[in-house]
Amino acid sequence: MDFLTEFPEMGRQDLRDLKKSIDAGFREFSREFGQALETFFEPLLRFLVWLETLLLATPWPIILIVVGTLAWLGSRSLKIVIGSVLSFVAIGYFGMWEDTMSTLAIVSVATLVCFVLGIPLGILMARSDRAQTIVTPVLDIMQTIPAFVYLIPVVMLLGIGKVPGLIAVCIYAIPPIVRLTNLGIRLVEKEALEAADAFGASYRQRLFGVQIPLALPNIFAGVNQTIMMSLSMVVIASMIGVAGLGVPVLRSISNQYLALGLMNGLAIVALAIIFDRVSQSYGERLQKHRSGGHHD
Amino acid sequence: MTEPKIRIQNLYKIFGAKPQSVLKEVEQGMSKQELLEKHNHVLGLKDINIDIPAQGVSVIMGLSGSGKSTLIRHINRLIEPTAGKMIVDNEDVLAMNKQQLMEFRRHKASMVFQKFGLHVHRTVSENAAYGLIIQGTPVNEAKQQSQKWVERVGLAGFEDHYPSQLSGGMQQRVGLARALATDAEILLMDEAFSALDPLIRTDMQDVMLGLQEELHKTIVFITHDLDEALRIGDTIAILRDGAVIQQGDPQEIIMNPADDYIVDFIQDINRGRVLKVKTMMSRGHSVTGPNIPATMSLEEALPLVSASDYKVGNVVDESNDVLGSITLDQVIAGLVRPEVTTNPESRYR
């Protein structure tokens, strides 16, 4: 009777030993390779620190001008430019300038890393069905596993700091860009590709001349999603030592500072909206062939 | 007769998991139906042998599912055959390696597609220049070189438009310009005009025939439309269930259809307009009557013959030399349809 009501679980002692041996094994691994990994990520850390220092050292009026210019170059819309500059003015006025600069630095670097790794991975997935069947479940895991779970091994390996934070952000934020690059390329019209083949296009000519340009709307949606998701990770990243807007949010959770939490939270939202609008209108402008006088 | 430009020899295409394993049985004559039931493979093409002469328009026609689009894609090897040879200018396309095949596609054979296959992110002039860009010509130079063709197909002034801003007929003009710009000797046209409205289709046929008169390309034209085939084809091959059932001169096919399928096929054509005087004439000495060019249609010759005193006319060639004569009876005989089979099993439409 007991057999049916109680699930036949493995022995308590065995389970404890299993967990212990996994932990010990990983500790061994991190002792062995922790240093090497740290050296590997050193350039990334330097770049991140350099960018953060640069943003913090630059006088605020210049940052405002740069923000306005970038918004203009991206969107060509006066409304978005004014909105972006005003948001930054408000952020500065409410005393969140430094934190915002730190967050900008880590989000930019994370996006860059996701872009550099994610797009080739997406292309590979589109090219080979086998790669797709292998990568898709990995992406599923990355998107659904609670962030705290992969923070543990990352912190064990690299300690607390900017690089583990960056890795955590990237793990969470890279799936959309990979998925949408793959999807975009796979959705490219068969006829357009056949024409490229019929005229003797090489693999590179096919990829860069037809597949990627035609997949751009989807790839852009992926970049956009990646930026949004890395912004939403800054609070969790701040738990393992990443400076930025996440830190005061964390502080306000433990101390019940409503106003502090709200302000910093809204600053993150403001950044997200600016990134979103600018990148989306840039993406739209890249595809002028889609606009204007459509025929039948 | 000169050496054909393209020789298709014993070409087979079987779709399925292991086509090689069933090839033997197909070669021994297994039918499409049997192959599907026994081995779950689909017979695409069966023992195709066609010689395509240089500088002419060769039409391959058949209804949907007959394998015609599959066949044309074997010429530039967009589809790999299961067995057979595809000889172009004495070279077997199927034996080429990747690099050779790429060169072949870039310089020897260009293609026009039923659904145009334009690149929507490129302008008209960039699309027209595409073949040249792929060959490695710098973009601006390629555009300059292809400009001539953009103008020839009647798209001057639309160079900077995107395909989505053009009508279907205009889009196919871009497709035609793109195919012509590479100066390839062979032009593969896969139902190139089938997606167009009837009037625009006729218009495009005229554009193509006009260009052909001066370019003399080797054109392989796929269509399901018999009127189109008769209008533009120098030779016609008719495909059914992946096999060629008749090939030859259009006049010949109409006068001597090989089987009931073709008889059925040619039921609705306007015989008077398609058949030429030369097909119905008898060779011999001149008679007393009007001169009628050999290439004139029966429809046009009928009033001339009918109005003559002895109901007979002289058939002459381009230099007005007499080839023979044609009587009113012969004209009328040409207009009579062959008997329709009454067996409902053999109706295809």
Q: Chain A residue with minimal CA distance to B188?
A: A198
CATH of the domain at B321: 3.90.1280.20
Residue B183 scores a pLDDT above 70 = yes
pLDDT of residue B70: 92
Do residues B255 and B311 both lie within one domain? no
Q: Is B85 on the interface with A (CB under 8 A)?
A: no
* Overall number of domains in chain B: 2
Question: Considering chain A, what is the average pLDDT of its residues?
Answer: 90
Cβ–Cβ gap B111/A289 under 8 Å: no
| Angle in degrees, CA B209, B271, B219, rounded to 5 | 25
**Inter-chain contact A200–B78, Cβ cutoff 8 Å?**
no
With a pLDDT cut of 90, the percent of chain B lying above it is 45
> Is there a single domain that holds both residue B226 and residue B282?
no
How far is residue A248's CA from residue A176's CA, in Å, rounded to a whole number? 28
pLDDT in tens, A37-56: 889 999 999 999 999 999 99
Q: Which of B76, B101, B117 sits opposite A191 (nearest CB)?
A: B117
pLDDT of residue B343: 54
- B291: β partners: B314
Task: State how far the alpha carbon of A58 is from the alpha carbons of A4, A10, A107, A112, A194, in Å.
Answer: 68, 60, 18, 21, 51
A199 with B111: Cβ contact below 8 A: yes
Q: Are residues B192 and B288 in the same domain?
A: no
Pair B230, B326 in one domain: no
Is the predicted pLDDT of residue B345 greater than 60, yes or no?
no
Do residues B173 and B200 share a domain?
yes
- Whether A1 is in a domain gets the answer no
Q: Which residues contact B38 (CB under 8 A, 6 or more apart)?
A: B30
Does B257 have pLDDT greater than 80? yes
State the pLDDT at residue A128: 93
Selecting from A191, A205, A289 the residue whose C-beta is nearest the C-beta of B115 gives: A191
pLDDT class of A185 with cuts at 50, 70, 90: very high
Q: Answer yes or no: do B163 and B186 share one domain.
A: yes
* B237 neighbors B319 (Cβ within 8 angstroms): no
Cβ within 8 Å, pair B118-A199:
no
Is residue A242 in some structural domain?
A: yes
Residue of B nearest to A206 (CA): B134
- Chain A contact set for B133 (CB, 8 A): 209
pLDDT at A177 over 80: yes
**Structural domain includes residue B276:** yes
> What residue in A sits closest to B111 (Cα-Cα)?
A198
B65 with B214, same domain: the answer is: yes
- Say yes or no for a CB contact (<8 Å) between B182 and A199: yes
pLDDT at B349: 44
In a domain, A295, yes or no: no
By residue range, what is the domain housing residue A275? Answer: 11-287
Cβ atoms A217, A283 nearer than 8 A: yes
Is B32 within the bounds of a domain? no
Report the residue from B111, B113, B121 with minimal CB separation from A289.
B121
Locate the chain B residue with the closest alpha carbon to A294: B165
Mean pLDDT for chain B overall: 88
Q: Are residues B197 and B301 in the same domain?
A: no
The DSSP code sequence of A27-95 is: HHHHHHHHHHHHHHHHHHHHHHHHHHHHHHHS-HHHHHHHHHHHHHHHH--HHHHHHHHHHHHHHHHTT
Read off the pLDDT band of B2 (50, 70, 90).
Answer: low
A208: contact with B, CB 8 A cutoff: no
Contact status, residue B68 vs residue B42, Cβ threshold 8 Å: no
Tokens of B311: 């109901």
Q: Which of B265, B297, B315 is the last residue of a domain?
A: B265
Would you call A204 an interface residue with chain B, using a CB distance cutoff of 8 Å?
Answer: no
Answer yes or no: is A293 within a domain. Answer: no
Task: Check B120 against A289: CB less than 8 A apart.
Answer: yes
User: B15: which strand partners?
Assistant: B42
Percentage of chain A modeled with pLDDT above 90: 69
Are residues B256 and B318 part of one domain?
no
Task: Assess whether B187 and B276 both reside in one domain.
Answer: no
- Quote the minimal CA–CA distance from A233 to chain B in Å: 36
**Tokens 């880590």 label which residue?**
A106
Distance from CA of B207 to the nearest CA of A (A): 21
- A residues 258-277 near B, CB within 8 Å? none
Residue B1 belongs to a domain = no
What pLDDT is attached to residue B106? 94
Q: List, as ranges, residues 23-82 from B with C-beta within 8 Å of A.
A: 76, 78
Is A203's Cβ below 8 Å from some Cβ in B? no
Provide the CATH number for the domain around residue A30: 1.10.3720.10
Last residue of a domain, one of B206, B234, B265: B265
Whether B239 shows a pLDDT value over 60: the answer reads: yes
Residue A296 resides in a domain? no
To the nearest whole Å, the CA of A210 is away from the closest chain B CA by 7
Domain around B65: 54-78+97-265
Interchain pair A199, B167: CB under 8 A: no
CA distance B140 to chain A (A): 16
Instruction: Inform me whether the pLDDT recorded for A293 exceeds 70.
Output: no
CATH of the domain at B145: 3.40.50.300
Domain end residue (candidates: B265, B288, B321): B265
Same domain as B292, residue B258: no
Find residues 146-175 of chain B whose CB sits inside 8 Å of chain A.
Answer: 162-168
- Which residues of chain A lie closer than 8 angstroms to B103, CB-CB? 200
Residue in A205, A293, A296 nearest the CB of B134: A205
CB B94 within 8 A of CB B86: yes
Chain B residue at shortest CA distance from A293: B165
Looking at the structure, tell me whether residues B63 and B116 fall in a common domain. Answer: yes
The pLDDT of residue A296 is above 50: no
Residue A295 has pLDDT above 50, yes or no: no
Higher pLDDT, A33 or A132: A132
Please report the number of interchain residue pairs, chain A to chain B, with beta-carbon separation below 8 angstroms: 82
Q: Structural domain tally of chain A?
A: 1
pLDDT digits 0-9 by tens, A200-259: 999 999 999 999 999 998 999 999 999 999 998 988 899 888 889 999 999 999 999 999
